[in-house]
Amino acid sequence: MIITFGSINADLIFTVEDIPQPGQTLLAEQFRTEAGGKGANQAIAAARDGATVVMAGAVGQDALAEVAMQNLIHLVDVSRVGHVSKPTGCASILIDRQGRNMIAVAPGANLAACSDVVDDSLIRQASVVLLQMENDAEQIARLIQRVKQLGGKSILNLAPAIRLGSDSLSNCDLIVVNENEAEVLAGWLQCEPSVEDLSGRLNTGVLRTLGANGAEAFVNGEKISVAAIVVDVIDSTAAGDCFVGVLASALDRGLLLRGAMNRAVTAAGIVCSRKGSQSSIPLQVETDRWRPPTSHEHQLP
């Protein structure tokens, strides 16, 4: 079982020919609303890949809450999602014809989410606690500390790259970053953005996603690299979140880290070949057809 403490958003998605420049107004070719938020996206990805998932977080008491929760309520346990007075988190997403995106997020209710809803008994039942950085940093740090004290395992997706204390980072079992986030983290730690240097400074596992070049990790003193699948990129929204959710799901059901990374890059590639955010995340059987799961080498410590 996976616990996801994270953001739950409504996404406002605009399809444009080109990403606008500062001061420029463009007419969008299409507009749609979808459920989103890094926490919710990762919970959905893990659930669609076959995991049992408990979602913890918060939404508002407004019309956007229904949009934000529309997929979660059918796929995961939402009994630990609170309804607060702040507005539901919202993201404005612009996607150009090359599949690139630009995103602005208003956290809203996500900053009111309290990690105390994840009780100790639930942590003891979970194979992994999955976190991101779209909630209050103090609540994230508190939950990481409790998971460590209870002997659980945590995966932190340091996205967006909001600063968290080195002690909290080191208490995670695995930190997942993309290339930009790795650069920011390296700046804080005053080292190179390689997985080897980041892992060495934090004394924990670090995984870096590389887009079309796959992903790499440095865990327990050994490096793992996996290749991406080749797809025609239509929309990269939620690809990173899908990677993290499927990685957690694969580890939850016993795959070792290399096999979990292979599965995660496959699922993320499928997302890039489709339009949408949560709607683009593949089912378990779809990922199976691309690349059967493997189970060799490098278990998460």
Hey, which residues are catalytic here?
241
Q: How far apart are the C-alpha atoms of 150 and 85, rounded to whole Å?
A: 32
Q: How far apart are the C-alpha atoms of 192 and 183, rounded to whole Å?
A: 8
DSSP assignment string, 204-246? SEEEEE-GGG-EEEEETTEEEEEPPPP---S--TTHHHHHHHH
Q: How far apart are the C-alpha atoms of 45 and 265, rounded to whole Å?
A: 12
DSSP assignment string, 115-154? GGGS-HHHHHH-SEEEE-SSS-HHHHHHHHHHHHHTT--E
Q: Report yes or no: 2 and 252 within 8 Å, Cβ to Cβ.
A: yes
Q: How far apart are the C-alpha atoms of 54 and 122, rounded to whole Å?
A: 9
Quote the tokens at residue 37. 């938020």
Strand 9-15 and strand 30-36: pairing? antiparallel
